[in-house]
Structure 1
Amino acid sequence: MANVVVFFAQGFEEIEGLATVDILRRAGHTVHTVGLGSEVITGSHHIPVKMDDVLDTFYWADIDALVLPGGLPGATHLRDDEFLIKKLKEYSKKGKIIAAICAAPIALHRAGLLKGKKYTCYPGVEKDINQGTYTGQLVETDGKLITGCGPAATFEFAYTIAEALGTETSALREGMQYNKLLKK
């Protein structure tokens, strides 16, 4: 299975970060939660979460996907972290999966990863992005780039990442009752 890093910054959107970690782990992937500047990161709804590691000391080996949850001011902190922007560029050049949801595509924009790509984000955030083509879809995939539009897109966003990593998700979707949601 794949190695995935989910980056957390103070003020992240809890649903987007934690549900993505949960679904990818259920899919059998190794998921590393990595905090920017701290081992305990507090989300935008005041829920503190203990990370597996911090960005400054994380060991970068055999990583298959980098994932950025949104939320404010979490996405702004991700966008403003020079080291993270460098890693996004590096891993994109290596052909790895790069995924961002909600407001987090602003970090992809800063890294120059949206040029010539289709993407989605939280409505209104696209006004701060002058690269790529905004689609407004729930989840958008363009090559190895995956973006989601907000908290309600989290399940589909995480399943899309899992599928891009080679996981068949139909049993997982059924087991989590996701298919019943789609039938309404």
Structure 2
Amino acid sequence: MSNLAGKTILILATHGFEQSELDVPHAELKKAGATVHVVAPEAGEIKGWKHTDWGTPVKVDKTLDQVSAKDYDAIVLPGGQMNPDTLRGNDKALALIKEFFAQGKIVAAVCHGPWLLIDTGIAKGRKLTSWPTLKQDLLNAGALWEDREVVTDKGVVTSRKPDDLPAFVAKIIEEVREGRHERRAA
């Protein structure tokens, strides 16, 4: 994979994230040379969800109160049903995602993660994909939903499901290497 030395990526999650949707980007982005921080509303560990039961805990590197988008090149939003639904109710989490977007930095969401793009207003007018059951939510929010493995719209990267993670991570790496993106208001 491409060299991301000197790049820093934030993965925002809380309890109930889909295990592979945090673990795979975390491992692959680190392998590509990036510094990767897992950030959550709470300190300590957060527990993933693996298929039909709780997965493996993941160490939280920093809490929401300890981070700012200015210190990162991209934010990754794993899915799972519980994780993004919980984060949607957290004003600090939504503000952080908006901060990344406003600074032209990469915002990447997989599976149910695009729910957060609705609540931040990022979805409106953008080409996106997601887990199929979010299609109507995204359309109602003004997104242009596409049934594709990975969809990118000016630095906003979305993907459908865990099977699509290799393409999702490859696109994140490509976008981070390109740098900031000019974005028109939706």
Task: Could you tell me which runs of 5 or more consecutive residues in structure 2 were left unpaired when the two chains were aligned.
Answer: 1-5, 179-186
Which residue, 162, 169, 177 being the options, matches 1:166? 177
What is the alpha-carbon distance in structure 2 between the residues aligned to residue 145 and residue 163 of structure 1? 12
The answer for the alignment partner of 1:16 in structure 2 is 21
The answer for the alignment partner of 1:171 in structure 2 is none
The answer for the alignment partner of 2:129 in structure 1 is 120
What is the alpha-carbon distance in structure 2 between the residues aligned to residue 106 and residue 144 of structure 1? 17
Over the matched positions of the two proteins, sequence identity in percent amounts to 33
Deviation of 1:61 (Å): 4.1
- Structure 1 window deviating more from structure 2 (158-167 vs 20-29): it is 158-167
Which residue, 43, 58, 64 being the options, matches 1:55? 64
CA RMSD, Structure 1 to Structure 2 (Å): 1.4
After superposition, the Cα gap between the structure-2 partners of 1:161 and 1:87, relative to the gap in structure 1 and judged at 3 Å, is same
Task: Could you tell me which runs of 5 or more consecutive residues in structure 1 were left unpaired when the two chains were aligned.
Answer: 168-184
Deviation of 1:59 (Å): 5.5
Aligned length: 167
Matched to 1:115, the amino acid is: K
Matches within 5 A, 1:1-184: 1-45=6-50, 46=54, 47-58=56-67, 60-129=69-138, 130=140, 131-166=142-177
Q: Displaced runs of 4+ in structure 1, greater than 4 A?
A: none
Q: What is the TM-score normalised by the length of structure 1?
A: 0.86
What is the alpha-carbon distance in structure 1 between the residues aligned to residue 28 and residue 75 of structure 2? 15
What is the alpha-carbon distance in structure 1 between the residues aligned to residue 70 and residue 126 of structure 2? 27
What is the alpha-carbon distance in structure 1 between the residues aligned to residue 61 and residue 87 of structure 2? 17
What is the alpha-carbon distance in structure 2 between the residues aligned to residue 27 and residue 111 of structure 1? 29
Is the CA contact 1:10–1:43 (under 8 Å) kept in the aligned structure 2?
yes
The SS at the match of 1:152 is helix
